[in-house]
């Protein structure tokens, strides 16, 4: 019989894969800790409505939808933000503001598979709710940069591209695009890097004319600084807010990482203010992370008016970047491996392992009676740092032989001091 495979778009995490995943998660938790964020989580599936209410029925095409046995329509979560907004809404005003929450959700999207995109993946989510000021936007962008630095990346590896939905709205209205055409214009802009230049120009023209001039809109979209943008669109209040954000980011020491990029739109309709995306420097991969301000979502779910800003970073693109950097996660099964030298196996090994484990030290031994050579092989497979020989001649004299598996050096240790000496050897 053939061994069955796992479902398409999912991953099996063997211990080496899991070590990489845990290294990423542990770095994420550490960054969130430094920034003073608390961890939360929500169910793995929600009522389908929660997603369609926010994103329209269109979203259903990307969802794993199912009915439970009572006929409720449920969907595996494709993102965590709706659940977050629901949870914050449910607490009304009883939740102390600001809310500074992070989560590492497992998510599911039924999408066409591509490089850097799977159907089951993980994200880091960081959100601040209850702060309308640009300080919150700056705090989150700074955290996203530190999330990358904590993983070993520098300004040579990635950049943060920042724009503003409010700015775009002001700009396009100033250029004559009618308000009701904005959503379809954003849809076209979001596709910019995914379709040909000709297709883009044709779709752009269809979206803005005749009320606005397609060439004027295209010119505005080629601008690379906020100052130049006001030359094209006239004075735009949101440009000042964005300047303030960049000024704060400068104070965070983030100048080399952040830039204004009018090309950042973010497909999701719910953004209301700044939007930003992190990309690898070569722009050869999908976005590393993305986020922005979404001031209306908590209210949409029946909660109090709550300004909010957040971002999400996925594990798939980050994992690829780490592997490109030859990143290796340590994956040691146990620090100490006991080698049984006599027939009193396994009793001798059990007693010694129990002693060592009680001291909080990772320890194992061969569960099968076998020769010293085979046991040493097992110790190597477990990537153990130290081998401890139990039941040998020395033990009668009260000593235990300990071998450094890397250097091959051996020590005779007084049996009564075994645990404390092992702890010392391991911390060296």
Quick one: 44 or 412, whose CB is closer to its own copies? 44
Quick one: 111 or 199, whose CB is closer to its own copies? 111
Residue among 327, 330, 348 at smallest CA distance from 338: 348
Q: What is the DSSP letter of 4?
A: P
Q: How far is the CB of 377 from its own copies (least distance, A)?
A: 9
- Considering only residues 219 to 248 of the shown chain, the ones binding its own copies according to CB under 8 A are 248
- Say whether the peptide bond before residue 388 is cis (omega within 30 degrees of 0): no
Of 20, 86, 266, 268, the one binding its own copies (CB under 8 A) is 86
Quick one: 212 or 308, whose CB is closer to its own copies? 308
State yes or no: residue 303 binds its own copies (CB under 8 A). yes
State yes or no: residue 47 binds its own copies (CB under 8 A). yes
Residue 120, helix vs strand vs coil: strand
Quick one: 79 or 203, whose CB is closer to its own copies? 79
- Considering only residues 378 to 397 of the shown chain, the ones binding its own copies according to CB under 8 A are 378, 381-382
Long-range contacts of 3-12 (CB under 8 A, 24+ apart): 7/119, 8/113, 8/119, 9/113, 9/118, 9/119, 9/120, 10/118, 10/119, 10/120, 11/118, 11/120
State yes or no: residue 74 binds its own copies (CB under 8 A). yes
Q: How far is the CB of 81 from its own copies (least distance, A)?
A: 14
Burial of 145 (0-12, 13-18, 19+ CB in 10 A): buried
Segments of 149-247 assigned E as strands: 158-164
Helical pair 237-251 and 226-233, crossing angle rounded to 10 deg: 180
Residue 65, helix vs strand vs coil: strand
Quick one: 209 or 362, whose CB is closer to its own copies? 362
The answer to whether 107 and 77 have CB atoms below 8 angstroms apart is yes
Q: How far is the CB of 14 from its own copies (least distance, A)?
A: 6
Number of residues that bind its own copies (CB under 8 A): 96
State yes or no: residue 46 binds its own copies (CB under 8 A). yes
Residue 157, helix vs strand vs coil: coil
Quick one: 222 or 251, whose CB is closer to its own copies? 251
Q: How far is the CB of 203 from its own copies (least distance, A)?
A: 27
State yes or no: residue 333 binds its own copies (CB under 8 A). yes
State yes or no: residue 296 binds its own copies (CB under 8 A). no
State yes or no: residue 370 binds its own copies (CB under 8 A). no
Q: Which listed range, 17-25, 180-188, 275-283, 415-423, lies at the site for its own copies (CB under 8 A)? A: 17-25
Residue with tokens 């130049």: 228
**Residues in Cβ contact with 32 at an 8 Å cutoff, skipping those fewer than 6 apart:** 39, 102, 124, 126, 143
Quick one: 197 or 406, whose CB is closer to its own copies? 406
DSSP lists the bridge partners of residue 74 as 47, 66
Q: How far is the CB of 211 from its own copies (least distance, A)?
A: 34
State yes or no: residue 291 binds its own copies (CB under 8 A). no
CA 327 centroid distance within chain = 17
Quick one: 35 or 327, whose CB is closer to its own copies? 35
Distance of alpha carbon 161 from alpha carbon 171, whole angstroms = 18
- Considering only residues 172 to 211 of the shown chain, the ones binding its own copies according to CB under 8 A are none
Q: Which listed range, 171-179, 187-195, 344-352, 420-428, lies at the site for its own copies (CB under 8 A)? A: 344-352
Of 55, 144, 334, 375, the one binding its own copies (CB under 8 A) is 334
Per-residue mark of binding to its own copies, 95-124 (x: CB under 8 A):
-x-x-xx----x-x-x---------x----
Quick one: 35 or 263, whose CB is closer to its own copies? 35
State yes or no: residue 25 binds its own copies (CB under 8 A). no
Residue among 223, 186, 233, 229 at smallest CA distance from 207: 186
- Considering only residues 251 to 280 of the shown chain, the ones binding its own copies according to CB under 8 A are 251-253
The answer to whether 4 and 113 have CB atoms below 8 angstroms apart is no
Q: State whether the Cα torsion 296-299-304-308 is positive or negative.
A: negative
Residue among 133, 144, 43 at smallest CA distance from 97: 133
Q: Which listed range, 208-216, 271-279, 376-384, 411-419, lies at the site for its own copies (CB under 8 A)? A: 376-384
Q: How far is the CB of 25 from its own copies (least distance, A)?
A: 11
Tokens encoding 351: 């007693």
Of 20, 80, 124, 131, the one binding its own copies (CB under 8 A) is 131
Torsion angle of the four alpha carbons 175, 167, 81, 191, in this order, in degrees rounded to the nearest 10: 50
State yes or no: residue 18 binds its own copies (CB under 8 A). yes
State yes or no: residue 58 binds its own copies (CB under 8 A). no
């Amino acid at each position: 019989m053939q061994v069955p495979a796992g479902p398409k778009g999912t991953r099996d995490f063997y211990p080496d894969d899991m070590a990489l995943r845990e290294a990423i998660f542990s770095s994420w938790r550490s960054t969130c800790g430094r920034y003073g964020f608390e961890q939360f989580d929500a169910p793995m599936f929600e009522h389908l409505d929660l997603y369609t209410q926010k994103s329209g029925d269109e979203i259903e095409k990307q969802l794993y939808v199912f009915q439970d046995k009572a006929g409720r329509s449920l969907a595996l979560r494709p993102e965590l933000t709706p659940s977050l907004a629901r949870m914050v809404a449910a607490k009304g005003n009883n939740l102390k503001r600001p809310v500074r929450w992070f989560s590492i959700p497992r998510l599911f999207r039924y999408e066409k598979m591509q490089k850097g995109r799977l159907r089951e993946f993980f994200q880091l989510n960081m959100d601040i709710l209850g702060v309308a000021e640009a300080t919150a936007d700056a705090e989150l962008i700074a955290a996203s940069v530190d999330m990358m630095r904590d993983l070993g990346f520098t300004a040579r590896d990635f950049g943060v591209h920042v724009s503003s939905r409010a700015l775009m709205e002001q700009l396009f209205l100033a250029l004559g695009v009618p308000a009701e055409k904005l959503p379809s214009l954003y849809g076209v802009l979001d596709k910019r890097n995914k379709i040909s230049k000709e297709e883009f120009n044709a779709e752009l023209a269809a979206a803005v004319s005749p009320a606005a001039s397609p060439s004027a809109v295209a010119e505005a979209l080629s601008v690379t600084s906020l100052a130049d943008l006001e030359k094209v669109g006239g004075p735009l209040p949101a440009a000042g807010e964005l300047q303030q954000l960049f000024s704060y980011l400068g104070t965070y020491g983030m100048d080399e990482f952040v830039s204004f990029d009018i090309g950042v739109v973010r497909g999701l309709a719910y953004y209301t203010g700044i939007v930003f995306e992190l990309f690898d420097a070569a722009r050869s991969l999908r976005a590393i992370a993305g986020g922005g301000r979404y001031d209306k979502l908590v209210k949409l779910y029946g909660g109090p008016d709550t300004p909010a800003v957040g971002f999400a970073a996925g594990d798939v693109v980050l994992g690829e970047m780490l592997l490109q950097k030859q990143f290796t996660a340590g994956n040691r099964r146990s620090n100490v491996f006991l080698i049984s030298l006599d027939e009193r196996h396994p009793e001798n090994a059990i007693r010694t392992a129990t002693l060592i484990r009680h001291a909080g030290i990772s320890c194992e031994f061969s569960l099968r009676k076998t020769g010293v050579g085979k046991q040493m092989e097992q110790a190597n497979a477990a990537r153990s740092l130290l081998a401890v020989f139990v039941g040998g001649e020395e033990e009668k004299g009260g000593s235990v032989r300990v071998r450094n598996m890397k250097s091959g050096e051996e020590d005779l240790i007084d049996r009564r001091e075994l645990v404390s000496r092992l702890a010392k050897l391991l911390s060296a």
